[in-house]
Amino acid sequence: MMFYIANLSHIETRANVKGYLRHELPDCLKGCDVVVIPARVHRKPGMTQDDLFNTNATIVATLTATCAQLS
């Protein structure tokens, strides 16, 4: 995650780029106008494309559901 924060924080903007852990998700999304989701899981040995898709889909589903609850 710190990799993404470092890459996004150099962009010339007035926006404040911060990183949050899973349990901090509701707090970090309150009042947001834009949410960038660069999260993904890398493919591990023995993992099928379906396994990878399902894992990444779960991450996105959790984030979007929380965004919807707070909007």
Show me where the domains of the chain are located.
2-70
Is pTM, for the whole model, over 0.85?
Answer: no
Q: Which helix (H) or strand (E) holds 43?
A: none
Which of 25, 22, 17, 38 lies closest to 67, judged by CA?
Answer: 25
Cβ atoms of 42 and 56 within 8 Å: the answer is no
pLDDT tens digits, residue range 41-58?
788 899 999 998 998 898
pLDDT tens digits, residue range 18-39?
777 778 888 888 888 888 777 6
| Cα torsion 62, 16, 7, 22: sign | negative
Fold annotation for 2-70: Rossmann fold (3.40.50)
